[in-house]
Amino acid sequence: MPVRKAMVSASIGLHARPAALFVRAVTDTGLPVTIRKAGIQGVDARSLLEVMTADFHHGCEVELSIADSAADGPSGHQAVQDALIMLAQLLESQAAR
Q: From the candidates 15, 57, 58, 77, which is the catalytic residue?
A: 15
Active site residue 15: yes
How many CB atoms within 10 Å of residue 18?
24
Run of H or E including 6:
strand 3-7
Q: Could you list the active site residues? A: 15
